[in-house]
Structure 1
Amino acid sequence: MPSIFSEVSPVELGLPGVHVRTITALRWIAVAGQSLTLGVVAAYFDDRIPWLPVGLALLASVLMNLALTFGYRSSAHMTGPQAALQFAFDLSQLSALLFLTGGVANPFSVLILVPVTISATLLSLRSTIGLSVLAACSLVVLWRWSLPLPWNGAQPLPEIYRFGVWIALVLAMLFLAAYAWLVTAQARRRQKALVATQTALAREQKLAALGSLAAAAAHELGGPLGTITLIAKDLRDQLGNDPDFGADLSLLNEEATRCRNILVTIAQRAEADEVFQHLPLETILREVIRPFEARGAVVRLSRAGPQGVQPVWTERRPELLHGLSNFVANAVRHSTAAVEIDIRESRDSVWLSISDDGAGFSADLLPRLGEPDLGPHLSEAGGTGLGIFIAVTLLERTGARLRFSNRDQGGACVEVSWRRSQVDVGKSGGSSPRKTQVRA
């Protein structure tokens, strides 16, 4: 995942952009405020304002707004260069007004920070940097060559003071833009990661619901298939020796029987999943590691606890299965020989550790594991950290607390712990499965 200081596309970051109606509304407000301020200055201070160029600057904003109003639908959405050009126009128009009315000595020069700050929250880093450079150049011009303040008997402000105002405005602009960018970029990435988490959880829930659908389908198809099986059997008994149709009828009967057996198996698996919703934690872990063992991975599972402490029985939740599976997959991918999974239980708590014998976590990543954005440090390993974030988020929904560390003998270790009261549903959850029947 790229660093938040690197250039990334608006699509990648999920940049919101801005609606045309928002731009036009803000610009009308700006035009009204600028006109009111100029009117007050002219009425109560002095009529030294150069009205022709000031009027042209105001007219430029009005014409731009009219062009947007009639050239775009109000619901149109601007991102990237189009929105950046709009903010650049506003920045240039405001700079022109400030140039005509005192430059950095004008108290309203602080408004030059607004377009850059808005860009940092809505547009890409490249656009924000471009607007910041434009604003800094405008402030240099306003500091060195602007017209004097339009008030009666005004004395020029000292050069050192105007230089201080310029420095203050530039620093404030850089600080606000950087702060807004960092906060909003992190929020965008976290939102994207949460969407990925919800997608993963929804996929697990759909797979669980698919079992119920399979059981219902097997039940409904059992009747027609049973009728087909009986008819095929009667036809085979009557015409089984027929040289033209005997072989076909035997094959038809065999395939009908095979279909019936498949439906029985599907129904049994689906209903078993419904029945076995409460299982020992060790059994759930064996279900998690079974696919990895089938691919040749060596995963060792052990359980320890004081005498008299019953094994923890917990709900077979999609969050638990998917979260643990992510950590086991990560350990298998980085291990060189075997993955160790240890369960420790007490009367009050349960701990689970997943360890591998690989290179371990990078020292600079350890404090940040579980965040959606781990920067460029994971690029060498070919990961982004999103899988760890998803696993952490899903397991925390079950009440788990997680800790990442490196083992003294080498390799990474993920520790997951719960209070027993959060996950233990008691042994009563392990009832025997119902016998599944498909109608014949």
Structure 2
Amino acid sequence: MAAYGSKQPSTPPGIRIARPGDDRVKSMNAAVSEATRSPGSPGKTNLQRLYVMRNLAVAAQLGAIIVARELYRIHLPLDPLLQIIGGLAVINVLTWLRLQSARDCGEREFLFQLLLDIGALTAVLYFTGGATNPFVGLFLLPLTIAATVLRPYYTWLLAGITVLAYTWLMTHFVPMPPSLGAAATGFDPMVTGMWLRFVINSALIAYFVVGMAETLRQRERTLAQAREETLRNERLVALGMLSAGAAHELGTPLATLATLTGELRRRYKGAEYEELQESLGLMRGQIDRCKEALGEISASAGGQQAQAGHVVPVRGYLLDTLEQWTLMRPGVSVKPRLAGPEAQPRILTERTLSQAIITMLNNAADASPQAVELNAEWDDQHLILEVCDRGAGLAPAASATVGQSPFSTKEQGLGLGLYLAHAAIKRVGGQVSLLDRPGGGTCARVELPLNRLSAT
């Protein structure tokens, strides 16, 4: 009885008590910190948008030079302009190489990228009329992006640099050569440039700001999901601690019951006590099953995963689990239907997953003892289980909140079975959903990725 009376706290299968340095706690904290890092994963996405915008800017500048020379006959200084545009293209190639790395883009790096764009725009404007160039308004574009993405300090810094560049271009610039083709075309280059500047600003600001807003919304969704996952894990940890205490206290009563049933079976022998012997035998079997469950709890007390560790084909695993359940519920009939390729994937037997399946079978048996079905289909990648009954079914609100909190339709139920089953299945990458069954009843559908359970 040492396994049931030990003072060491034990943990129920599928639940681990969080301890400092625990891998699960570390992964939980890492997930939250990854979601809350600033700018976090949106930083690289923003840099990718800036890369696309810069490609458009290079193409637009080349197009503007062609239009100015061919349509308006404006003789621009081509050599310095092409050198500046070529340098901007080289910067964008380096940016593309930077995007291939796994490292995220921080705010300072993004600020440096915007400063490169401001520097290139300043150089182009210097050789094309300075502040008199209608495209000088493009200075507002990187400033708008900075206000959307960066913190206020960096935005004000970029605003100051932009104002200095604009001010410098008011007195330092190469005058724009006169247009020789304006009279022939009937278009004023200044008016056309102002219109084109408005179009470019509108399109690029819409593209970038809309993308930034979606990135921020996605970040908020990620943060909300991380917080919800953390709260759920904290609830499971608290439940594990309570379960460990309850398991510690159940060892002695079960040992007493086992002793009493043994004495009763020895005392009341004979044909006249055959029915009593049968009932005592069933009681002793259930007590042994409880002791076995407590033994598994004690075995996982050190935080180890509750699994047998041997490799079996998926069909054999399901049949073994079903056999364990039939020993617990001998009076319930079940119709198994297992379908899959002959070359069955081999998986590590996962005790917590077996208990989750048994929990769903128990729920189905409680709802309709004579009409329980277990359907399973698998391929090389996925395993889909369905445990169906012909009971009264669940309300839509209950189906929507499955696994989120303890829930029970039984008069004396605690609502922990399906809650823990959902947690165990989710831990191995699976999903659980409750569906209405045609003709009445409920189907608990479990989708499992076999790569998380595979032995290879």
TM-score interval for Structure 1 and Structure 2 normalised by the shorter chain: 0.3 to 0.5
TM-score (normalised: structure 2): 0.37
TM-score (normalised: structure 1): 0.38
